[in-house]
Amino acid sequence: MLLSIVIVSYNTKALTLQTLASVEESLQRSPELDQKTDIWVVDNNSTDGSVEAVEKLVKSSSRLHLIKNQANLGFAGANNKAIERSKGEYVLLLNSDTVVQEDALAQMIATFSMSQSNLETAVLAEARDKLDHLGVLAAQLLNPDGSLQAQGGSFPTLFSLTTHMLFLDDIPVIGKFLPSTQHTGRNAHHHQGSKPYLVDWVGGTAVMIRRAVFLEAGLLDSSIFMYGEDIEFCMRAKSHHWDVAILPSAKVIHYGSASSSSKNAIIGELKGYIYIWAKHKPIWQKPILKLILGIGILLRIILFGTMIRDAHRAAIYKQASRVLRPL
């Protein structure tokens, strides 16, 4: 088996079926992938008929498999179940709210198969970093309207987190040159070329990973229910000297947060940072982390409460401030 595709589903029946249809269409464009790919849908105890709909497809497809969880295990826990059972040399983690475009999967496999000498020419011009040990490769995400969707970012440090939480990456001109844990706004990195380019971390929305990376660095950390597990995994992959990159020519539409509310995303992201610091960072940074997150949350409460006048978002950040209490 060359490729194993893992899709975690949670009450996204229509979107999951759409994602599966796009995967099948993309696979049929490549005879090799069409014959050497299996697909795993892991359902996190959906109640919207997702299981029954996928079960119907399983009956007519020899490569489609369904894992039914009796509880919601979160993103990492659900993916790990299929990663352990699948056999592909490469594993594609794919959100259930995505649409794979044309030959994106074949392009990603071809990039992994490039000779080392060719990979060494795929560099970020401004960084001059060689990409010669590719382990994690993300597709270029698109919004439903076809515009580029930002993803990934710099590894979390006190500096990069400060840049993100205090909106320093949104400062005109200089913002795009500052490291930020989230590459959004002026800090977003978009490359229109065909070559892969290096980043610190990529999201788990549409990311292909060599199985060797899992064998060396371990599976996704299931202690993180959702949000932050992709950053933490890339940190471990990098510590084992695997390169992480994005392939601009391999495009995947991402509808975004279809199965999670903005409240879950905001609080989950903050909890993810706290967990990463507890697992990977020195203890003396804990009070500084609390200060950075606290100031960032306060700025957003003020921004959404008085300037943008989004009372709902302001209330979410007031609730999010509670995650700092155990620190």
d(CA 296, CA 182): 14
Residue 186: pLDDT band (50, 70, 90) is low
DSSP 142: E
In contact, 241 and 264? CB cutoff 8 Å: no
* Residue 312 burial by Cβ neighbours in a 10 Å radius (0-12, 13-18, 19+): exposed
d(CA 277, CA 25): 41
Beta bridge partners of 244: 136
239 and 110: one domain?
yes
- Looking at residue 125, its pLDDT comes to 40
Diameter of the chain by CA atoms?
57
162 and 271: one domain?
no
233 and 130: one domain?
yes
Global pTM value: 0.91
pLDDT at position 303 over 50: yes
d(CA 250, CA 150): 14
Q: Per residue in 205-220, pLDDT tens? A: 999 999 999 999 999 9
48 and 111: one domain?
yes
The DSSP annotation for 32-92 comes to HHHHSEEEEEEE-S-SSSHHHHHHHHHHT-SSEEEEE-SS--HHHHHHHHHHHH---SEEE
Q: If you average pLDDT over residues 280-307, what whole number do you get?
A: 95
pLDDT at position 20 over 90: yes
240 and 196: one domain?
yes
**What CATH number is attached to the domain comprising 254?**
3.90.550.10
169 and 288: one domain?
no
Q: Which of 19-28, 265-274, 307-316 has the lowest mean pLDDT?
A: 307-316
91 and 8: one domain?
yes
Provide the number of structural domains found in the chain: 3
229 and 295: one domain?
no
- Looking at residue 257, its pLDDT comes to 54
97 and 172: one domain?
no
In contact, 252 and 142? CB cutoff 8 Å: yes
Q: Give CA 290 to chain center in angstroms.
A: 25
Task: Give all strands (DSSP E) within the chain, no chain letters.
Answer: 3-9, 37-43, 64-68, 90-95, 98-100, 134-142, 197-198, 206-210, 243-254
14 and 87: one domain?
yes
